[in-house]
C-alpha cells in the first residue's frame, strides 16, 4: 500500500462521526467480555462435578461399620481355623517325637544289655581258657589249615583253577547259541553280536559250582545203596555219625547236672575236629566214586558250550579237572 493511501485512511478516521467510533469500540469490546466469561463457566462446571461426585460416593456410617465388622469376623474365623490346624499338626509331631524317643531309649537299653552279655561271655571264655587251656579253645589259629586265613588262600587257589578249567581262549570253539539260555537263567543281558568271553567264562564257573554242590548234596543226604562200597560212603558215614554224636552230647549236657565248663564245649570241639579231618582228607582220592562222577558230568555239561580244536589243550585240562 502506498503512503498516499495510508494518509487518506488516517484522515478518514479523523473525520468520522463519534457514533461510528463508538460502535467500533463496542464491537471490539464484546469479544473480550466473552473471553473473560469462559473461564468462570469452566470453574462452575468443576465445582458442580465435585459436588455430584461427593454425593454419589457418600456412604452411610452405619452401613460402613456393619461391612467392616463382617470383614473382621471373617478374618478372625479364618485365623482361628489356621490356628486349629497348626495346633493339630503340632500335636501329631509331638506324638511322633515322643514315639521315636521311647524307641531310642528301648534300643539303648537293648544295646546296653547286649554289651553286658558280651562282656559276660568274654569273661567266661577267658576264665575257661585259663582253666582248661587249649582244650576249651574253640578258635583256630592263623597257622592252622582250618583257619579263616587258610580258607581265603584256598579260595584264591580255587579261583585260579576254575579260571584255567573254564578257558575259552585259543583252541576252543564257543557255541554261542547254547550260552543264550544259560545267560538268561542267570539274568545276564548280552547282545546278539556281543562276544564277551569273560562273561561267558563267569557263567561256566557258576554252572560248575551249582553242579558240584548238587552232587555233594545228593551224596550226603541220600542213603547209600546196597551196591555202594564201604570206602565210597566213608565221608558220608563220618558226617552222619558226627551229627548224631553232637546231638546226643548236647542232650546229655542239658539233661545232666554238673558244674564243669568243658561239657558245654565238647559238642563244638567234636564237630570242629570232625570237619577239619574231612576238610583235609575227604575225597582226596582221585578214584573216589563221587569225584569221578562229578568230573564226568562236568565234562559232558561243558561240552555243550565249548569244543576243543586243540587236543593237547583238552588233555591238559582233563588231567587238572580232578583238582577241583
Of 35-39, 206-210, 249-253, the one with minimum mean pLDDT is 35-39
Could you say which of 135, 161, 187 is where a domain stops?
Answer: 135
DSSP string, 114-125: HHHHHHHHHHHH
3-class secondary structure, 136: helix
Residue 208: per-residue pLDDT: 92
User: Is 122 a domain residue?
Assistant: yes
User: Is 41 a domain residue?
Assistant: no
User: Is 174 a domain residue?
Assistant: yes
Sequence-separated (6 or more) residues with CB below 8 Å from residue 314: 308
Q: Is 174 found in the same domain as 130?
A: no
Using an 8 Å Cβ cutoff, are 278 and 239 in contact? yes
In degrees, rounded to 5, the angle at the alpha carbon of residue 310 between the alpha carbons of residues 304 and 313 is 90
Residue 54: per-residue pLDDT: 53
Rounded to an integer, what distance in angstroms lies between the CA atom of residue 230 and that of residue 318?
28
Residue 21: per-residue pLDDT: 43
Residue 227: per-residue pLDDT: 67
Rounded to an integer, what distance in angstroms lies between the CA atom of residue 69 and that of residue 75?
10
| 128 vs 198, more confident | 198
Question: Over the stretch 186-198, which tens digit does the pLDDT of each residue have?
Answer: 888 776 666 678 8
Q: Is 318 found in the same domain as 195?
A: yes
Of 128-137, 209-218, 257-266, 276-285, the one with minimum mean pLDDT is 128-137
Per-residue pLDDT at 135 exceeds 60? no
User: Is 128 a domain residue?
Assistant: yes
Q: Is 199 found in the same domain as 281?
A: yes
Rounded to an integer, what distance in angstroms lies between the CA atom of residue 272 and that of residue 146?
9
Per-residue pLDDT at 32 exceeds 90? no
What Cα–Cα distance (Å) separates residue 1 from each residue in 15, 140, 186, 233, 264?
Answer: 21, 144, 123, 156, 152
- The x, y and z cell numbers of residue 194, run together, are 556281543
The whole-number average pLDDT for the span 258-262 is 79
DSSP string, 159-224: HHHHHHHT--SSSEEE-HHHHHHHHHHTT----TT---HHHHHHHHHHHHHHHHHHHHHHHHHSPP
Q: Cell 582248661 belongs to which residue?
A: 132
Q: Is 171 found in the same domain as 67?
A: no
Average pLDDT, the chain: 78
Q: Is 114 found in the same domain as 157?
A: no
Of 126-130, 167-171, 270-274, the one with minimum mean pLDDT is 126-130
For the chain, what is the domain count?
2
Indicate the DSSP class of residue 133: G
pTM exceeds cut of 0.75: no
Using an 8 Å Cβ cutoff, are 212 and 294 in contact? yes
Q: Is 211 found in the same domain as 83?
A: no
Q: Is 304 found in the same domain as 210?
A: yes
What is the number of alpha carbons within 13 Å of residue 63 lying toward its C-beta? 3
User: Is 11 a domain residue?
Assistant: no
Sequence-separated (6 or more) residues with CB below 8 Å from residue 197: 168, 169, 174
Q: Is 175 found in the same domain as 113?
A: no
User: Is 99 a domain residue?
Assistant: yes
Indicate the DSSP class of residue 132: H
Residue 31: per-residue pLDDT: 47
Q: Is 289 found in the same domain as 183?
A: yes
Residue 33: per-residue pLDDT: 47
User: Is 17 a domain residue?
Assistant: no
Residue 22: per-residue pLDDT: 43
User: Is 48 a domain residue?
Assistant: no
Q: Is 113 found in the same domain as 176?
A: no
- The x, y and z cell numbers of residue 72, run together, are 473382621
Could you say which of 78, 106, 135 is where a domain stops?
Answer: 135
Using an 8 Å Cβ cutoff, are 170 and 310 in contact? yes
Q: Is 97 found in the same domain as 238?
A: no
3-class secondary structure, 288: coil
3-class secondary structure, 62: helix
What number of other Cβ atoms are within 10 A of residue 314's Cβ?
17
What is the number of alpha carbons within 13 Å of residue 66 lying toward its C-beta? 5
Domain of 304, in residue numbers: 148-323
Q: Is 251 found in the same domain as 153?
A: yes
Using an 8 Å Cβ cutoff, are 131 and 123 in contact? no
Could you say which of 112, 135, 158 is where a domain stops?
Answer: 135
In degrees rounded to 5, what are phi and psi of residue 79?
Answer: -65, -40
Of 26-30, 40-44, 67-71, 180-184, the one with minimum mean pLDDT is 26-30
Amino acid at each position: 500500500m502506498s503512503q498516499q493511501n495510508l494518509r487518506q485512511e488516517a484522515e478518514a478516521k479523523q473525520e468520522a462521526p463519534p457514533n461510528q467510533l463508538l460502535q467500533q469500540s463496542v464491537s471490539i469490546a464484546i469479544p473480550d467480555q466473552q473471553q473473560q466469561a469462559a473461564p468462570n463457566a469452566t470453574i462452575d462446571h468443576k465445582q458442580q462435578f465435585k459436588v455430584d461426585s461427593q454425593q454419589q460416593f457418600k456412604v452411610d456410617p452405619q452401613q460402613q461399620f456393619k461391612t467392616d465388622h463382617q470383614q473382621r469376623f471373617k478374618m478372625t474365623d479364618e485365623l482361628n481355623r489356621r490356628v486349629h490346624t497348626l495346633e493339630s499338626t503340632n500335636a501329631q509331631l509331638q506324638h511322633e517325637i515322643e514315639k521315636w524317643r521311647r524307641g531310642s531309649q528301648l534300643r539303648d537299653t537293648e544295646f546296653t544289655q547286649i554289651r553286658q552279655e558280651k562282656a559276660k561271655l568274654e569273661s567266661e571264655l577267658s576264665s575257661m581258657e585259663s582253666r582248661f587251656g587249649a582244650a576249651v579253645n574253640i578258635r583256630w589259629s592263623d597257622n592252622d589249615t582250618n583257619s579263616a586265613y587258610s580258607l581265603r588262600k584256598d579260595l584264591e587257589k580255587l579261583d585260579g583253577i576254575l579260571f584255567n578249567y573254564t578257558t575259552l581262549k585259543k583252541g576252543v570253539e564257543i557255541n554261542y547259541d547254547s550260552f543264550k539260555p544259560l545267560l538268561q537263567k542267570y539274568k545276564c543281558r548280552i547282545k546278539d553280536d556281543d562276544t564277551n568271553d569273560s562273561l561267558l567264562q563267569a557263567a561256566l564257573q557258576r554252572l560248575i559250582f551249582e553242579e558240584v554242590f548238587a552232587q555233594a548234596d545228593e551224596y550226603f543226604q541220600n542213603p547209600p545203596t546196597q551196591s555202594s562200597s564201604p570206602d565210597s560212603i566213608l565221608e558220608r558215614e563220618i558226617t552222619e555219625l558226627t551229627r548224631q554224636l553232637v546231638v546226643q552230647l548236647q542232650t546229655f549236657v542239658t539233661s545232666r547236672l554238673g558244674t564243669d565248663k568243658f561239657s558245654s564245649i565238647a559238642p563244638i570241639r567234636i564237630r570242629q575236629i570232625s570237619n577239619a579231618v574231612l576238610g583235609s582228607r575227604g575225597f582226596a582220592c582221585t578214584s573216589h566214586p563221587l569225584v569221578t562222577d562229578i568230573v564226568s558230568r562236568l565234562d559232558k555239561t561243558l561240552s555243550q558250550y565249548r569244543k576243543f580244536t586243540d587236543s593237547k589243550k583238552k588233555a591238559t585240562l582233563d588231567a587238572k579237572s580232578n583238582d577241583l
